[in-house]
Amino acid sequence: MRRYLGRKLLIYVLTFFLAVTIDWLIPRFMPGDPVQTMLSRASLHAEAVEVMYGYYTRAFGLDVPVWQQYLNFWNAIFHGDLGTSVYLFPQPVIKIILRAVPYDVFLLLPAVLLSWFAGNWFGAFAARNKWLDNTLLPLGYILTATPYMWLGIVLAWAFGVVWGIFPIAGAYGFSLRPHLSWTFIGSVLKHWFLPFASIFLVKFGGWAIGMRNMIIYELEADYSHYLEALGAPRGLIRKYAFRNAILPQITGLSLDLGVIVAGALVTEVVFSYPGIGYLILQAIQNQDYFLIQGCFLFIIIGVLLANFAIDIAYVIVDPRTRLGMMGESA
C-alpha cells in the first residue's frame, strides 16, 4: 500500500513542479512583453513610459537574469506572495484569489459529489432492464455532450428570464451585504442554484453512462455467474457488481477533476458568479498576467489536493491496492 501511495505522491509532486514551471514560463515565453502591453494601455507620453517601464520591470523583478527570476518565483510562492495584480493594482494577487475561493468550493464541491453519487446510482438503476436502458441512457449521452456554458445559458434564460424564478447574476442580491441572516442565505442559495444545476446535469450524464457500462461488465464477470449458479438473489449479485463497478468510477473522478474545473470556470462566466473562473476572465480581459498566474496556481493546487484525497479514499475502499498482487506468477 505504501508503494501505491508513494508512487501517486511522486506523480503529484512532479506534476506540481511541471505545472508551476509552465505557469512561470508562459508570460516570459509568449511574444510581446507583459509590461510593455500594460504600459501601452496607460496612454502616457514617451519619456514617462521610459521611467515607468524601468520602475515596473524592477517592481516585477524582470530585470534580473532568467534563472534568478525562476528562483525568486519559487520562494515567492512559498511565502504566499504571488505578486500584485495589475488590474486591481494595489491589492496583492493572493488576497483577490482568497476572496473568490470560497464561492468556488461552495459551487464545485456539492455539484461534483452530488452528480457523482446520483449519476452512479442512476447508471446502475438504468442497467437493470432493457427498457430503462434504451430510454433513459440516451438522455445521459445527450447531457454529457452538452457544453457547460450552453446549458447554463438555457437554464438562465428559461428559469431566469422567461419564468423569473431564479436570479441569473452574481452570488447574492446586489442590495445585500454579506451578513449572517436568513434573507442573505436565502439569496445566496437562490443565486447558487442555477450554476450548480448546469454543472450537476452535465456531469450526471457522464457518470450514468460510465456506471452503466461498468456494471454490465461486472455482471458478466465470473463471480457473478458463480453467484447465479448458486441461486443467489438478483439483489445480492447486483450489490456486488455495483460495489466493484464503483471503484473505477472513483479513479475516473480524480482524472475528471481537470475537466470539471474547466466547466466550472465557464459556468461562472455565464452567471458572473464571483469564483476563480470569473476572476480569470476579468484577468484575461485586462491582460493582468500575475492574476492569471495566481489563479492557475490555485487551480493546480486544488486539483492536486483533490486528486490525492480521492486516491487515499480509493486505497481504503479497494483491498486490491492495499494488498498488492499475492497470487503466484506463472
Partner 1 sequence: MSLQVENLTVYYQTLRGDVQALEKATFAVADGEIMGLAGESGCGKSTLANSLIRLVPPMRLVAGQVRLDGELLPLDDAKRMSEYRFTKISVIPQYAMNALNPTRKIGKIIAELLQSKGVDFATILPELKRRLDLVELSHDVLGMYPIELSGGMKQRAVMVLSVLLNPSLLIADEITSALDVSTQKAVAEMLVGFRDREFVRSLIVITHDISILYQMADSILIMYAGQLAEKASTDVIIRAPRHPYTRLLIASLPKVGVRYAERRLSGIPGRPPLLLDPPAGCRFRDRCSMAFEKCMEVPPFVEIEAGHFVACWKEFGADADA
Partner 2 sequence: MMKRKVRSETLYFALRNNKLRVGLSVVLFFLVLTFVGPLLTRYAPYDYVNPLGAQPPSAKYWFGTTMFGQDVFTQFVYGLKATFLVGVVGGGLGTLIGVIVGFTAGYRGGMVDEALNMLTNIILVIPTLAILLIIAAYLKVRGIMTESVFIGCTAWPWAARAIRAQTFSLRSRDFVDLARLSGMSPWRIIFTEIAPNMMSYLLLVFILQFGGAILNAATLDFIGLGPTNAVSLGLMMNNAVLWGALLLGIWWWFIPPGLAIMAIVGALYVTNVGLDEVFNPKLREM
Partner 3 sequence: MLTLDRVSKVYRVGTFGGRALVAVSDVSFDVRDGEVMSLIGESGSGKSTIGRMILRLIPATSGRIVFNDVDISTLKGSALKEYYRRVQGVFQDPFSSYNPIFKADRTFRILRDEFFPDTPAAEWQDRMESTLRAVGLNPGQVLGKFPHQLSGGQLQRFLIARALLLDVQFLVADEIISMLDASTRVDVLNLLADLKSRGLSILFITHDLSLGYYISERAVILYRGCIMEMGATERIFGTPLHPYTQMLIASAPRLDKKWEEVEIELRGEQLENVAGCVYYNRCPQTMRDAACRTQKPTLVAVESEHWVACRRYARE
Let me know: does 202 contact 143? Beta carbons within 8 Å: yes
Three-state SS at 92: strand
Segment interacting with partner 2, rule: CB under 8 A, options 50-58, 182-190, 285-293, 320-328? 285-293
* Contact partners, residue 145, CB within 8 Å, separation at least 6: 205
Within residues 150-189, the interface with partner 2 by CB under 8 A covers 150-151, 153-154, 156-157, 160-162, 168
145 touching partner 2, by CB under 8 A: yes
- Which of 7, 128, 225, 239 lies at the binding interface for partner 3 (CB under 8 A)? 7
Task: Find the part of the chain contacting partner 1 (CB under 8 A) among 97-105, 111-119, 241-249, 264-272.
Answer: 241-249
Cβ-count burial 5-28 (b if 16+ within 10 Å, e if not)? eeebeeebeeeeeebbeebbeebe
As measured in angstroms, the least distance from the Cβ of 179 to partner 2 is 28
Q: If binding is defined by CB under 8 A, does position 330 make contact with partner 3?
A: yes
Binders of partner 2 among 189-218, rule CB under 8 A?
209, 213, 216-217
Q: What is the spatial distance between Cα 2 and Cα 322, in angstroms, rounded to a whole number?
A: 8
Cα separation, 219 vs 227, whole angstroms: 10
Distance separating alpha carbons of residues 237 and 231, to the nearest angstrom = 10
Residue 125: its H or E element: helix 93-126
Question: Among residues 74 and 308, whose Cβ is nearest to partner 3?
Answer: 308
Out of 15, 57, 72, 321, point to the residue binding partner 2 (CB under 8 A): 15
130: partner contacted, choices partner 2, partner 3, partner 1, none (Cβ within 5-8 A by kind): partner 2
Per DSSP, the three-state class of 318 is: coil
Which of partner 2, partner 1, partner 3, none binds 154 (CB below 5-8 Å, type-dependent)? partner 2
9 binds partner 2, rule: CB under 8 A: no
DSSP structural state of residue 157: I
304 part of the interface to partner 2, by CB under 8 A? yes
Strand partners, 84: 92
Residue 275's closest CA among 177, 181, 170, 159?
Answer: 170
Selection from partner 1, partner 3, partner 2, none that 223 binds (CB < 5 to 8 A by kind) is partner 1
**Of 235 and 324, which has the nearer Cβ to partner 3?**
324
CB of 298 to partner 3, least distance (A): 31
Residue 327 interface partner, choices partner 1, partner 2, partner 3, none, CB cut-off 5-8 Å depending on type: partner 1
Kindly state the DSSP code that residue 84 receives in the 8-state scheme.
Answer: B
Q: Phi and psi dihedrals of 30, rounded to 5? A: -80, 155
Residues 245-284 that bind partner 1 (CB under 8 A): 247
# binding residues, partner 3 (CB under 8 A): 6
CB 52 within 8 A of CB 89: no
Quick check: 328 binds partner 1 (CB under 8 A)?
yes
Of residues 289-318, those binding partner 1 (CB under 8 A): 318
Could you identify the residue written with the cell 466547466? 263
